[in-house]
Amino acid sequence: MNALQNKVALITGGSRSLGLAMARALIDQGAEVVITARSRGTLDEAATTLGSRAFAVQMDVRDPDSVRAAMASVAERFGRLDILVNNAAIGCLHRIDQASDADLQAQVETNLLGVIYTIREAVPLMRKAGGGDIVNVSSESVRLPFPMLSVYAATKAAIECLATGLRDELRPERIRIATLRCGNIADNSGFGDAWSAEQKADAFQLWGKTGHLAFAGEAIPQSIVADTLVSMLGLPPSGGLDLIEVRGR
C-alpha cells in the first residue's frame, strides 16, 4: 500500500502547471486530492484529466470567505484534511517605483495572506484527522532575490518565516509544516503571462548584468518537484523536514 493511500490532500493553484503535476503525483500514491483555483473552467478540465480521485473546488486564496467556503466543502465531503500544499502564487515584474497598487496587493494577498488563510482554516480539519502535513512552496529567490521581482521574493521569505514560527505551535497537534523551496521550473505556465515585452527586456538585461541569470541554472522538470513533495509527505510521523530545496544543475 502506498504511504499516501486514502489521505485527503488540498493543493492551491492545482488546476495547471506545477500544481497539476503535484496533484497527479499524490493521486498516483493513492490520495484523494482537492484541487483549487479561481477559474471554474480550468478546474473542471483538470479534474477530468486527473480522474475520479480528484475533487475540484473553486477558491480564491485572497478572499478569506472563499477559503472558508472551500474548506467547508472539504469538511462536508471528507470530514477531514490530511495534507495542505500551498502552491498558488503570482509574481509581478516591476521596478519598485513603478509598481502599481494592484500588483503589490495581488502579490501580498496571494502569496502571503492566502497561505495564512488556508492554514488557519486547515488546522481544525487536520485536528479531526489526528494530525497532518502542511507544505508551503517557496522559491530559491529568497536566497538571491531577483531585481524587479523583489516583492515576490519577499512574500516567499515571509512564508518560510511563517512555517518556522508555526512548527513548534503545531507540533502538539501532530501537524508537521515544511517548506519546499524550488528553483527555476520548466513549463511553469502562467507565472510570467502578464509581463510585457518591455518589462521582460528590461529585466533580462538587468539580470544579465547582476549575474542572476547564471544563478538560476537549468530549469527543473515539474515531475521532479512533484516527486520531492511525495517523498516529503511519505516520511513516517516520527520524522520531518523543515526545508528542502530542489533546483536544476
Query: CB count, 10 Å around CB of 239?
Result: 9
pLDDT of 32 strictly over 70: yes
In the predicted structure, residue 176 carries a pLDDT above the cut 60: yes
Instruction: Indicate the residue type of 200.
Output: K
Residue 198 DSSP SS3: helix
Per CATH, domain 8-246 is 3.40.50.720:
yes
CB contact at 8 A, 243 and 160: yes
Using CA atoms, how far residue 57 sits from 29, 111, 219, in Å, is 21, 19, 30
Give me the amino acid identity at 210. Answer: T
pLDDT for the residue 189: 61
The grid cell for 205 is 538585461
The reported pLDDT for the residue numbered 188 is 65
Taking the model in full, what pTM does it have? 0.94
Q: Which amino acid is at 30?
A: G
Q: At what angle do helices 222-233 and 17-28 cross, to 10 degrees?
A: 50
Reported confidence tier of residue 151, pLDDT bands at 50, 70, 90: very high
Q: Report CA torsion sign: 66, 69, 70, 71.
A: positive
Long-range contacts, stretch 165-173, CB < 8 angstroms, 24+ apart: 166/119, 166/134, 167/242, 170/123, 170/134, 173/123, 173/126, 173/127, 173/131
Give 61-126 as a DSSP string.
TT-HHHHHHHHHHHHHHHS---EEEE---------GGG--HHHHHHHHIIIIIHHHHHHHHHHHHH
Assess whether 152 carries a catalytic annotation.
yes
Q: Output the pLDDT for position 170.
A: 96
Among the listed residues 7, 15, 139, 152, the single catalytic one is 152
194 pLDDT band (50/70/90 cuts)? Answer: confident
Q: What is the pLDDT, as a whole number, of residue 215?
A: 78
Is 156 a known active-site residue? Answer: yes
- What pLDDT digit, counting tens, does each position of 155-165 carry? 999 999 999 99
The lowest-confidence range among 14-23, 56-65, 71-80, 193-202 is: 193-202
- pLDDT reported for residue 212: 87
pLDDT of residue 50: 97
Which tens digit of pLDDT belongs to each residue from 107-119? 999 999 999 999 9
pLDDT of residue 231: 95
Q: Residue 79 corresponds to which cell in the numbers above?
A: 470530514
pLDDT at 227 over 60: yes
Residue 78 pLDDT greater than 60, yes or no? yes
pLDDT band at 30, cuts 50/70/90?
very high
Asked if 8 contacts 55 with a C-beta cutoff of 8 angstroms, the reply is no
C-beta of residue 232 within 8 angstroms of C-beta of residue 135: yes
Catalytic one of 138, 196, 209, 238 = 138
- pLDDT one-digit tens code per residue, 37-50: 998 999 999 999 99
- d(CA 247, CA 249) in angstroms, rounded, equals 7
State what percent of residues in the chain have pLDDT above 70: 98
Q: Which of 15, 66, 139, 156 is catalytic?
A: 156
Strands, E, within the chain: which ranges? 8-12, 32-37, 54-58, 83-86, 132-139, 175-182, 243-246
pLDDT of residue 1 exceeding 70:
no
For 118-143, write each residue's pLDDT tens digit: 999 999 999 999 999 999 999 999 99
Listed by start position, the domains of the chain span 8-246
CA 57 to chain centre: 16
